[in-house]
Chain A
Amino acid sequence: MGIRPLSQGLDPTEDSAESSLLARLHLDAPLLIGLLVLCAFGLLVLYSASNQDMGSVKRQLVRLGLAFGLMLALAQVHPARLRSWSPLVYMVGVVMLVAVLLFGDVGKGAQRWLDLGFARFQPSELLKLAVPMMVAWLLAARPLPPSLPRVLGAAVVTLVPVLLIAKQPDLGTAILVAAAGAAALFIGGLSWRLIAAIGIAAAGMAPMLWYGMRDYQRQRVLTFLDPASDPLGAGYHIIQSQIAIGSGGVFGKGWLNGTQSHLEFLPERHTDFIFAVIGEELGLAGILALLAVYLFIIYRGLVIAANASDAYGRVLAGGLTLVFFVYVFVNTGMVVGLLPVVGVPLPLVSYGGTSMVTLMAGFGLLMAVRSHRKALQF
């Protein structure tokens, strides 16, 4: 006999015609559909952004397959088990971060990779999942909202890996991991008073942050404030991506017809700056369609968080969903010139395997929270 969800009526989006196959696979149909649409869209754009290189598309497709496989696997794990694994996963992640700093490979001027002999692995990716898991584990131990010591504990378990990652240095991932901890805390009911206090403290810390930054990071911020000051250097990315987007207009130059992208004026066009390719070729209309898909996925994630059966599931699901949003916002904000350039890909659209696997693993956890709402029977 299959396991039947007990509390079907609690979820307003619950579809009584939901395929029992998906239910058996512990997959959430709306979320799955949203992700599939997004990935299909991403592959189409990638085909254009990579100058119609089927090789890139195929490699991306293979990664997507692996990532979906991982999602499917994680969806089978009962949240209670996830909860019990949380401290271990977190500890392993932090240890590996330390190992990276000590023994890691240097790539593009930063130490991010750990060579395990059979594969190269970026431990900071694991922390994008481990931090919300750990924060959720901490917060769920007592009824929400969390007490101040618990909040401080959550802050510590977030900031330790963030600082380790920032030291590599990998500002983009550090921001995402910090966002994961903060999002989990926010969903977990961090009091508004504390939020305000943290906001004020952060504003006060900004000058210190400035002095803590590396030269190239400072340069990025300066360039962000005034891209025209260095049009052929650091400002080039920003200027060219804005030209690409702006020249796309409402309906774009047409798929495969973006001159900025195809003539290589746009740097990183199939990775971090792929959003500009969409803006150029598909115009505002195409971007709004993409944002709608993102919004739907985020909405579905928040619904799953709100309807989770326990505090751990709620905080974890909410945190993961909001990290996904931070990906979208930081990337699009950077490409349109609202935010400084940091290395954050457009989730599930940018070419590249690492972040995709992490993201889909995160959705696997969301699916697990969604479908296992019954207490685990040991």
Chain B
Amino acid sequence: MLLDSSLEDRRRERHLVAVRAATAGVLVLLALLLVVVRLMRLQVDQHEYFSVLSRDNRVKVQAVPPTRGLIYDAQGVLLADNHPSFSLEITVEKVEDLAGTIEALSAIIPVDAKDLARFERLKRQRVRYQGVPLRLNLTPEEVARFSVDSHRFPGVDVRAELIRTYPQGALTAHVLGYVGRINAEEMTRIDASDYAGTHFIGKGGVEKAHEGALHGHVGYQQVEVNARGRVLRTLEGKAPVAGRDLHLFLDLDLQQAASDALGDNRGAVVAIDPRTGGVLALVSKPSFDPNPFVEGITQSDYHALLYSPDKPLFDRAVRGQYPPGSTVKPFVGLAGLASGVVDARKAKFCPGYYQLPGQSHRYRCWRRGGHGTVALEQAVVQSCYVYFYDLAHSMGIDRLQGFLKELGFGARTGIDVAGELGGLVPSREWKERARKQPWYPGETLIVGIGQGAFLATPLQLAVATATLANRGHFIQPRVARSTQVPGSPDSTELPAVSHPVEVGDPHHWDQVIHAMTEVVEGERGTAKRIQTKAYRIAGKTGTAQVFTVGQKESYNAARLDKRMHDHALFIAFAPVEDPRIAVAVVVENGGHGGSVAAPVARQLMDARLGGSRLLAKEGSGRGD
């Protein structure tokens, strides 16, 4: 019985387990069938969809930035170069623990406080998903050290890029400007797709004005990347179009000469070739080294420049607006001749003051006793105020300012240096608009001697002088002569924009030029100290009263004194017969134009016309 039940139990057990095993087998089949159904949905139904996702995963389109065009001076000297550099960049959006990442990075690659400060600043200004540099100019060893550990740092990359350098440094800083990292504000102005991959953009000067030519056009490549975004290979792409090289009219020798001639003075020099409108030299002093700006200058260095009382960042040549003073007299004289209110041969009497009809107020000449009887030539040479008071009064402000504007005063010249200001030629409309007051006849007199609200930039003075030298052929000033496809002879001359300035009888030009020649060559000429036998110079000195600078600087009495001095101005061109250079010089607080500004112009002309060599010969000849 026991045996029976035991056998029965064993039979039942065996049956039970067999049924359970079979049931389990069925359940296993059903479960795996579920997996297979799911697989069929993924691999058959949605295969196309996932194929696309898979391809999108691994293929990324990368922008390939174009190489920025180089900039050369008239002699082919390199003024702006591209220098290969490795930088360590963090794409902030891809990094979870930024502080921890930077800390871990600094264990491999030294990062100092300056780097961190720059990183913080650039991070605030960044464009989203664009790398922000933490360290610049990595050494090859640092690059290697990072590469070994790079898998630990997703979102951190070593970027090889071309960094703009300016071999001439401060000498060309104002005219060239500089490039810097594109900020969020600039991003809204540019074609973002063309700048994908480009990190730098012209921030001023020629770099900004010729941004389009210098930048080129973006290329792209389709690359296979892994999950960490590392590029494994290039599949296909379109090469970028490199930016065009820029060849300038600017002559580094003249630039150097102008800078040397200004010495430690604050001021500006603009030299133009009257035949082309090409700017030969454009100097503003003091200057600054543009190279630190490219990668982001430190806050403290920047503030030191920005708040320096000498304003080194301020481009006086195209943004400095000065009362032109007596340098405007040749142009006002020309206006008088052109309008017929004066005749070069007819003299006026200068008693030392001028009175408007029916008014008792006396507008003084600089010479108390008066110049006596003066015609146009002597009025220019001796800078007689009364002659020009009368001329301006006779002509009236409307005609006078109209003519001055034809010479380029009162509006931006359109030079290819970004940031230019337009100066100001006072007019009825301006007075009405700006001061809500009517025009008083006495103000016309003040315009006639280049004072009062009348403001001109050194560039405008140089342009007007070049127009005079050209006898009425106004050419818009320009720094760049031509663009060139890098490494090819394919060069494009940039067109000149010009228009004629009519003065009625062409003889009027000669009359004014003759007067300016007398300024240098005449017995009473205010600039006779720069006279040379090597070539003939036509010029005009000027002084501008200082009335705006200095109020904020009353803390320093000694300094204030110097800063209340007049600005010294000088305009000139040479040779008179066949002008090849027109110059405007402003020396801030320099005092008298003839003694301070004119020699600067002379040095520049010597550099241009080879005068110093001739002078040396003269000197040796005299010794014989």
A247/B38 in contact, CB under 8 A: no
In the bound assembly, the distance between CA atoms of A186 and B40 in angstroms comes to: 31
- Given A143-B9, A248-B43, does the pair A306, B54 have CB atoms closer than 8 Å? no
B57/A259 in contact, CB under 8 A: yes
A246 is contacted by which of B21, B24, B35, B51 (Cβ under 8 Å)?
B51
Stretch at the interface among B155-163, B223-231, B564-572: B223-231
A245/B43 in contact, CB under 8 A: yes
In the bound assembly, the distance between CA atoms of A301 and B9 in angstroms comes to: 23
Contacting B at CB under 8 A, from A330-350, are 332-333, 336-338
A333/B35 in contact, CB under 8 A: yes
Stretch at the interface among B26-34, B194-202, B240-248, B513-521: B26-34
Contacts of B227 in A (CB 8 A): 240, 263-266
In the bound assembly, the distance between CA atoms of A283 and B44 in angstroms comes to: 10
- Given A186-B20, A247-B51, A302-B24, does the pair A329, B31 have CB atoms closer than 8 Å? yes
A246/B20 in contact, CB under 8 A: no
Number of interface residues of A (CB under 8 A): 53
Interface code A65-90, partner B: CB below 8 Å = 1, 0 otherwise?
00000000000000000000000000
Stretch at the interface among B10-18, B463-471, B581-589: B10-18
Interface code B21-62, partner A: CB below 8 Å = 1, 0 otherwise?
110110011011011101110111011011101110110000
Contacts of B3 in A (CB 8 A): none
- Given A265-B58, A318-B17, A329-B31, does the pair A336, B39 have CB atoms closer than 8 Å? yes
A243 is contacted by which of B21, B32, B53 (Cβ under 8 Å)?
B53
Min CB distance A328 to B, Å, is 7
- The answer to the question of A287 belonging to the interface, with a C-beta cut-off of 8 Å to chain B, is yes
Closest to A291 in B: B32
A337/B13 in contact, CB under 8 A: no
Contacts of A259 in B (CB 8 A): 54-55, 57-58, 224
Contacting A at CB under 8 A, from B273-299, are none
B57/A260 in contact, CB under 8 A: yes
In the bound assembly, the distance between CA atoms of A64 and B10 in angstroms comes to: 38
Contacts of A144 in B (CB 8 A): 9, 12-13, 16-17
Interface code A174-197, partner B: CB below 8 Å = 1, 0 otherwise?
000000000100111100000000
- Given A260-B54, A329-B31, does the pair A189, B16 have CB atoms closer than 8 Å? yes
In the bound assembly, the distance between CA atoms of A311 and B12 in angstroms comes to: 11
A284/B20 in contact, CB under 8 A: no
In the bound assembly, the distance between CA atoms of A248 and B9 in angstroms comes to: 52
A249 is contacted by which of B10, B22, B44, B225 (Cβ under 8 Å)?
B44
A299/B25 in contact, CB under 8 A: yes
- The answer to the question of B232 belonging to the interface, with a C-beta cut-off of 8 Å to chain A, is yes
- The answer to the question of A295 belonging to the interface, with a C-beta cut-off of 8 Å to chain B, is yes
A187/B21 in contact, CB under 8 A: yes
- The answer to the question of A250 belonging to the interface, with a C-beta cut-off of 8 Å to chain B, is yes
Q: Summarize A's interface: helix, strand, loop or mixed.
A: helix
B44/A247 in contact, CB under 8 A: no
Contacts of B47 in A (CB 8 A): 246-247, 249-250
A245/B39 in contact, CB under 8 A: yes
- The answer to the question of A35 belonging to the interface, with a C-beta cut-off of 8 Å to chain B, is no
In the bound assembly, the distance between CA atoms of A102 and B277 in angstroms comes to: 89
Number of interface residues of B (CB under 8 A): 42
- Given A187-B21, A298-B25, does the pair A249, B32 have CB atoms closer than 8 Å? no
B13/A314 in contact, CB under 8 A: yes
- Given A143-B12, A311-B13, does the pair A318, B24 have CB atoms closer than 8 Å? yes
In the bound assembly, the distance between CA atoms of A195 and B13 in angstroms comes to: 18
In the bound assembly, the distance between CA atoms of A242 and B13 in angstroms comes to: 44
Contacts of A308 in B (CB 8 A): 17
In the bound assembly, the distance between CA atoms of A318 and B40 in angstroms comes to: 30
A242 is contacted by which of B9, B10, B42, B225 (Cβ under 8 Å)?
B42
B21/A305 in contact, CB under 8 A: yes
- The answer to the question of A169 belonging to the interface, with a C-beta cut-off of 8 Å to chain B, is no
A243/B18 in contact, CB under 8 A: no
- The answer to the question of A47 belonging to the interface, with a C-beta cut-off of 8 Å to chain B, is no
A187 is contacted by which of B20, B46, B225 (Cβ under 8 Å)?
B20
Min CB distance B534 to A, Å, is 74
B226 is contacted by which of A188, A265, A302, A303 (Cβ under 8 Å)?
A265
In the bound assembly, the distance between CA atoms of A186 and B232 in angstroms comes to: 52
Min CB distance A304 to B, Å, is 9
- The answer to the question of A165 belonging to the interface, with a C-beta cut-off of 8 Å to chain B, is no
Min CB distance B56 to A, Å, is 9
Contacting B at CB under 8 A, from A239-261, are 240, 242-250, 259-260
Contacts of A265 in B (CB 8 A): 57-58, 226-227
Min CB distance A83 to B, Å, is 15
In the bound assembly, the distance between CA atoms of A113 and B24 in angstroms comes to: 33
- Given A243-B53, A246-B50, does the pair A318, B21 have CB atoms closer than 8 Å? yes
Closest to B224 in A: A263
A284/B13 in contact, CB under 8 A: no
Contacts of B20 in A (CB 8 A): 186-189, 318
- The answer to the question of A279 belonging to the interface, with a C-beta cut-off of 8 Å to chain B, is yes
Min CB distance A271 to B, Å, is 16
A332/B35 in contact, CB under 8 A: yes
Min CB distance B51 to A, Å, is 5
Contacting B at CB under 8 A, from A277-322, are 279, 283-284, 287-288, 291, 294-295, 298-299, 302-303, 305-306, 308, 311, 314-315, 318, 321-322
In the bound assembly, the distance between CA atoms of A209 and B47 in angstroms comes to: 36
Residue from B29, B35, B40, B49 having most chain A Cβ neighbours under 10 A = B35
B32/A329 in contact, CB under 8 A: yes
- The answer to the question of A325 belonging to the interface, with a C-beta cut-off of 8 Å to chain B, is yes
Contacts of A143 in B (CB 8 A): 9-10, 12-13
Contacts of A248 in B (CB 8 A): 43
Closest to B45 in A: A246
Contacts of B24 in A (CB 8 A): 183, 186-187, 302, 318, 321-322, 325
In the bound assembly, the distance between CA atoms of A88 and B21 in angstroms comes to: 28
In the bound assembly, the distance between CA atoms of A29 and B458 in angstroms comes to: 102
In the bound assembly, the distance between CA atoms of A306 and B21 in angstroms comes to: 6
Contacts of B25 in A (CB 8 A): 298-299, 302
Contacts of B31 in A (CB 8 A): 325, 329
In the bound assembly, the distance between CA atoms of A240 and B58 in angstroms comes to: 12
A295 is contacted by which of B22, B29, B51 (Cβ under 8 Å)?
B29
- The answer to the question of A30 belonging to the interface, with a C-beta cut-off of 8 Å to chain B, is no
In the bound assembly, the distance between CA atoms of A188 and B24 in angstroms comes to: 12
Closest to B16 in A: A189
In the bound assembly, the distance between CA atoms of A325 and B36 in angstroms comes to: 15
Contacts of A318 in B (CB 8 A): 17, 20-21, 24
Contacts of B28 in A (CB 8 A): 295, 298, 322, 325, 329
Contacts of B34 in A (CB 8 A): 333, 338
Min CB distance A162 to B, Å, is 20
- The answer to the question of A145 belonging to the interface, with a C-beta cut-off of 8 Å to chain B, is yes
B18/A306 in contact, CB under 8 A: yes
Contacts of A332 in B (CB 8 A): 32, 35
A246/B16 in contact, CB under 8 A: no
A242/B57 in contact, CB under 8 A: no
Contacts of A337 in B (CB 8 A): 38, 42
In the bound assembly, the distance between CA atoms of A333 and B28 in angstroms comes to: 13
In the bound assembly, the distance between CA atoms of A246 and B28 in angstroms comes to: 24
Contacts of A260 in B (CB 8 A): 54, 57-58
Contacts of B16 in A (CB 8 A): 144-145, 189
Min CB distance A267 to B, Å, is 8
In the bound assembly, the distance between CA atoms of A279 and B35 in angstroms comes to: 12
Interface code A119-140, partner B: CB below 8 Å = 1, 0 otherwise?
0000000000000000000000
In the bound assembly, the distance between CA atoms of A188 and B23 in angstroms comes to: 12
The contact sample of 13 A-B pairs, CB cut-off 8 A, is A183-B24, A240-B57, A243-B54, A245-B39, A247-B50, A249-B44, A249-B51, A287-B39, A294-B32, A302-B21, A322-B24, A322-B28, A329-B31
Known: A263-B58, A263-B226. 8 other contacts (CB 8 A): A143-B9, A244-B54, A263-B57, A284-B40, A295-B28, A302-B24, A314-B13, A318-B24
Closest 10 CB pairs of A and B: A246-B50, A247-B54, A143-B9, A263-B226, A264-B227, A246-B42, A302-B21, A306-B21, A265-B227, A314-B17
